[in-house]
Structure 1
Amino acid sequence: MKLENGEYLGKNNRTFHVDGLIINKTSYHEKVFEGWHFHQNNHLSFILEGGNREYRKQTDQVLRPGNMVFYPGGEWHRNSHTQHPSLNINLEIEDHFLQHYEASFTAGPHNAFKALDNLHQSFSPAHNPLFHTQAKLTALRIYHDCQVADQHSSLSVHQQLLSLLQTAGTREKTDRQLFGGRVDKVIELLHDRWNEHISLQDLSTVTALHPVTVSRHFTAYFDCSLGEYMRRIRVERSLLLVRQPTLSLTEIAYQCGFFDQSHFIRAFKAQTGFLPKAFRKF
């Protein structure tokens, strides 16, 4: 089965068309087709609720809330044991979007994006937690911008998606140049101790570099300060907690390492575009 532009096996609750991108929220409340199928376009799916078991050529995996996955256009796959309800945000990339920006997902000397055979790995939290965190927050900001739908929304959505995909293709090139070749150690520390206070001295210890050098390398690699990146991780970790109506925002704020609820709300809005209560009802 071939699924055309913006078509999914579940019910599309809302769909936005943004000059070559199709953004929608898809829900699953009853059993759907479980056979092999493919989508016309490349797309990213962020699973907010539910999940399923996914089968692709020679691989299978269980998809859970918080997972973000990439599907190349034309790749056969099937899904079974879908939980009800399930809810996904899908970002679909039409060919003419890629053509407009002279980009593709195939290997080549002038390609701005990572090739398809490697892009899958970027969406693995174990392989690339930095990119995985950024991808989920970007998906939410894009959907929020589509809801706002003002004169700047289209430009904002395009810029955010291009930036995300380019990050997947270029970040590895700088690994050997920054942090004394210990980028993986830095990322591991930040994501393992995400709800603790991390200092430049902590990063200095794992990189064997002076804190001033660490600060300069951090900004060059992460495109933000250490404090901003830690807020980004904490907000990403809070996404599934916010979806649980039994937890108060104060409880979530403290669990995720924020000083209080007001600090958490401001950080959540800045990183996702949504207020926590609005995202809970999403």
Structure 2
Amino acid sequence: MKELQKGEYYGDHYQKVDLGGMILTDTAYTHSKVDWHYHQNPYFTYILEGQLFEANKKESYTLGAGSLLFHNWDDAHYNIKPPGYTRGFHIELNKEWFLKYDLGQDGLEGSINLKNPLVKRKMNSIFMETKISDDHSPMSIEMLLVEVFGLMEGQQQNQKPPNWVRKLQELIMEEGVDSSLGNLAAQLQIHPVHLSREFGRYFGTSFGNYVRLLKVNKAFNMMVSTKLSMTEICYECGFSDQSHFISNFKRVYQMTPSKMLGKISRR
């Protein structure tokens, strides 16, 4: 089985940023299939455009734009790319980086499918920093990545949440939630007070912010992966009008969608 060395990925790199303890790459996948292999260092794979099928010895994933995986050192896997264009963003970290920030890796074995919109917000901001690429970007990337691992640690601690948490995640992700607190609690078969008190514990933020982040992150991914107009993206992501879309996007990413689009273009 092949071991890929530091900064080595199958495909063509649009950009490679080496910050010593970490390497960040913006890559177009060019192989229809990559046989079993593993990487020398742990890393993130964030699919920006297209699709990718990945399987390890325990699980398999069909990944689309916005999918985010973390792979540890011992994670042997293979990939199949469907026909069409697929683009991914990788962040590879060496062992010294984890020691530098006193970050343990307990519970981070194999692959982890990261769905938390707070984590994806940080990942989008890291990707943006590689495109801004000014004197402040390296420190910003380091700080954002440390925050990512803090959120991941919290996710691992809550990896066996109550059934209502999983059901609510599915409701928000698949159907959206447009009802009163009482109706939502009834759907989940829990008391409204319990839902109100416990939501932040399992979701890491308020209900409104969680839903807004899902919408804004979806817009970010569509800006990278589609050629839809801003108006089409606005309504596809569930915003009532362009004004709400722009204000929410700017609140999260500190710039307008149009300015963002200019920074995250393919090359």
Aligned to 2:73: 73
Q: Which runs of 5+ in 1 are unaligned?
A: 108-113, 124-128
CA deviation profile, 1:125-166 (whole Å, cap 9, x unmatched): xxxx4x2x3333322111112333445433432332222223
Tell me the distance in 1 between the aligned counterparts of 2:113 and 2:54.
Answer: 18
Q: TM (normalized to structure 1)? A: 0.75
Tell me the distance in 2 between the aligned counterparts of 1:171 and 1:81.
Answer: 29
Aligned to 1:21: 22
Tell me the distance in 2 between the aligned counterparts of 1:18 and 1:200.
Answer: 46
- The offset of 1:264, in angstroms, is 1.3
Equivalent position to 1:136, from 117, 120, 139: 120
Tell me the distance in 2 between the aligned counterparts of 1:60 and 1:193.
Answer: 24
Q: State yes or no: 1:225 paired with 2:214.
A: no
User: Do the aligned partners of residues 92 and 175 (structure 1) sit closer, same or farther apart at CA in structure 2, a change above 3 Å counting?
Assistant: closer
Tell me the distance in 1 between the aligned counterparts of 2:168 and 2:158.
Answer: 14
- The offset of 1:46, in angstroms, is 1.0
Higher RCO (CA 8 Å, separation ≥ 6 residues): 2
User: Do the aligned partners of residues 198 and 20 (structure 1) sit closer, same or farther apart at CA in structure 2, a change above 3 Å counting?
Assistant: farther
Tell me the distance in 2 between the aligned counterparts of 1:82 and 1:227.
Answer: 36
Match of 1:104, SS state, is coil
User: Do the aligned partners of residues 198 and 122 (structure 1) sit closer, same or farther apart at CA in structure 2, a change above 3 Å counting?
Assistant: farther
User: Do the aligned partners of residues 172 and 267 (structure 1) sit closer, same or farther apart at CA in structure 2, a change above 3 Å counting?
Assistant: same
Q: TM (normalized to structure 2)? A: 0.79
8 A contact 2:19–2:138 mirrored in 1: yes
Matches within 5 A, 1:113-262: 114-117=107-110, 120-123=111-114, 129=115, 131=116, 133-150=117-134, 152-171=136-155, 173=157, 182-194=164-176, 196-205=177-186, 206=188, 208-211=190-193, 214-242=195-223, 243-245=225-227, 247-262=228-243
Tell me the distance in 2 between the aligned counterparts of 1:173 and 1:74.
Answer: 21
Q: Which runs of 5+ in 2 are unaligned?
A: none
User: Do the aligned partners of residues 150 and 207 (structure 1) sit closer, same or farther apart at CA in structure 2, a change above 3 Å counting?
Assistant: farther
Tell me the distance in 2 between the aligned counterparts of 1:150 and 1:136.
Answer: 22
Identity %: 27
Paired residues in the alignment total: 260
- The offset of 1:82, in angstroms, is 5.0
C-alpha RMSD over aligned residues: 3.2
- The offset of 1:122, in angstroms, is 4.2
